[in-house]
Amino acid sequence: MIRISALAASVKPSATLAAGAKARQLRASGVQVFDFSLGEPDFDTPAHIRAAADRAVAAGQTHYTPVTGTPEVKAAICRWYKGYHGYEVAPENVIVSNGAKHSLHNVLAATVGPGDEVVIPTPYWVSYSDLVSMTGAAPVLVHTTPESGFKLTPAQLRAAVTPKTRVLMLNSPCNPTGTVYTRAELEALADTLVDHSDAALLSDEIYEQLTYGDAKPTCVATLRPGLRDRTVTVSGASKSYAMTGWRMGWAVAPAALVKAMDAIQSQETSCPSSVSQAALVAALDGPQDCVAAMRAEFAARRELTCGLLRAIPGLKLPVPDGAFYAFFDVSAYFGKAFAGKPVGDSLGFCSALLEQAHVNLIPGSAFGTEGFVRMSFACSPDTICGGLAKLADWLATGR
Ligand SMILES: Cc1ncc(COP(=O)(O)O)c(C=O)c1O
């Protein structure tokens, strides 16, 4: 018998990936499943990006690269920040990794450990709490509510900060709520953090190119002069460029921290994929109309999703201003039974819904918030219409 380590025993598998696997299993047995579980664009990676990868392979770019990424990809990231956010970044501030999830892991591994605290507003993206726990540090969850638009307030932050606080994790636009903080709200949080602690700000901005209506993304590091010295910006290509499988994420950080992450990454994975880095250069430097087209499509699906959900009695839906998720309150249905099966929480709700109506949503408890469920609308309008019709019919059977 091979013994499993305490670390492995303590880690929960990603709830969203597990839900996706369950839906695939059902589908393989011939059932039509409406799967809204995965945070993955249904578009193909744009052709010019795939062509750049083909060219890289043909040119023999199939070897190890420098640990933190090729000079070309780091230069492209620097150009992109200057163009998109007016943020002047030097190559020594950039480290490219195998997806933004890996970047987050590197940042946490390089900044926190046992005895440290990391403040995470809830609802949070499923992996945050486990990524923190894997370092031995303690996640400090601060509960936000629909009344505040699921936004952390300066007063809540002040109350959560202790001498052990090392990092505040922020995510705007947010997965799962779609919340987008305004620049002024982020300034108030940054000022509170600076006034009350010497903690770093870890800002996950992976949905920055996906905001709707009047909502605007903000690059937190640019909020105040000097803030960049204690801010790490994480982003990636998965969501904006439909590049989930290429595994391209990055962190922008003070050079000393990049050096620390360089050492960790050199021992863990050597470098990110050479071919994917060539594709990322094409994504960031190439025509951006593909991003605009995908954003427009997501915006239309958001309208469709919100309209259909609002028409279902008992559901409460805060408007998502960014990303591609609807996070809605289903607690009015708790205490009812569906096909004789009582439902008392978001996990029970999602299990019964998948089993009985073959609609796959993620329980709010996976994001640290009970009473809600998350639906990804990064899928076809037909799937949205079909799945939400099934959801409405199923809810009506609750007794
Ligand atoms: C908020 C957030 N951060 C990071 C990631 C990780 O993205 P990737 O590892 O594909 O770059 C995701 C993916 O779902 C996400 O929703």
Cα-trace Rg, the chain: 21
260 and 370 share one domain? no
Give the pLDDT confidence score for residue 20 in this predicted structure: 79
Range with the lowest mean pLDDT among 19-28, 145-154, 201-210, 212-221?
19-28
Tell me: do 260 and 323 sit in the same domain: no
Q: Which of 264, 287, 310 is the last residue of a domain?
A: 287
Query: Mind listing the pLDDT tens digit for each residue in 194-223?
Result: 999 999 999 999 999 999 999 999 999 999
Q: Is the CB of 125 under 6 A from ligand 1?
A: yes
Hey, is 107 helix, strand or coil? Answer: helix
Closest atom of ligand 1 to 102 CA is: 9
pLDDT, one tens digit per residue, over 360-389 is 999 999 999 999 999 999 999 999 999 999
Of 287, 307, 328, the last residue of a domain is 287
152 and 132 in a common domain: yes
Q: What's the CA gap between 45 and 313, in Å, rounded? A: 38
User: How far away, in angstroms, is 108 Cα from ligand 1 center?
Assistant: 15
Determine if ligand 1 sits within 6 Å of the CB of residue 236.
Answer: yes
Residue 75 lies in a domain: yes
198 and 272 within one domain:
yes
39 C-beta closer than 6 A to ligand 1: yes
Find the 342 Cα to ligand 1 centroid distance in Å: 33
pLDDT for the residue numbered 290: 97
Domain count, the chain: 2
Is 24 within a domain?
yes
Note whether 265 and 185 are same-domain residues.
yes
139 plus 215 within the same structural domain:
yes
Q: Does the pLDDT value for residue 34 go beyond 90?
A: yes
pLDDT at 13 over 80: no
**What CATH number is given to the structural domain containing 306?**
3.90.1150.10
pLDDT for res 326:
98
At residue 62, does pLDDT exceed 80? yes
Domain that holds residue 13: 6-44+290-396
The model's pLDDT over 66-119, given as tens digits with 9 standing for 90+, comes to: 999 999 999 999 999 999 999 999 999 999 999 999 999 999 999 999 999 999
Q: Are residues 176 and 90 in the same domain?
A: yes
**pLDDT of res. 209:** 98
Structure tokens at 377: 């609308």
Look up residue 323 and give its DSSP letter: T
At 256, which CATH number? 3.40.640.10
For residue 16, the model assigns a pLDDT of 72
- Neighbour count for residue 356 (Cβ, 10 Å): 14
For residue 363, what pLDDT is reported? 95
- Cα–ligand 1 centroid distance for 323 (angstroms): 11
* 100 CA to centre of ligand 1 in angstroms: 6
Looking at 270, 287, 304, the residue that finishes a domain is 287
User: Which pair of tokens denotes residue 352?
Assistant: 């019964």
CA distance 243 to 57: 17
Residue of 125, 177, 209, 277 with the most ligand 1 atoms within 8 Å of its CB, for mutation: 125
What average pLDDT score do residues 32-61 get? 96
For residue 1, is it within any domain?
no
Q: Mark whether 40 and 134 lie in a shared domain.
A: no
Mean pLDDT for all residues in the chain: 96
| pLDDT-above-90 percentage for the chain | 93
Which CB contacts under 8 angstroms, 24+ apart, belong to 282-289? 282/48, 282/49, 282/51, 282/52, 282/53, 283/46, 283/49, 283/237, 283/241, 283/243, 283/248, 284/76, 284/77, 284/79, 284/80, 284/237, 285/76, 285/79, 285/80, 286/46, 286/48, 286/49, 286/52, 287/48
Distance 366 CA to ligand 1 centre (A): 15
Same domain, 178 and 76: yes
* Position 154 pLDDT exceeds 80: yes
Cβ of 349 closer than 6 Å to ligand 1, yes or no, is: no
62 and 36, same domain (yes or no): no
Same domain (yes/no): 39, 59 = no
Q: Distance (Å, rounded) from C-alpha 174 to C-alpha 318?
A: 13
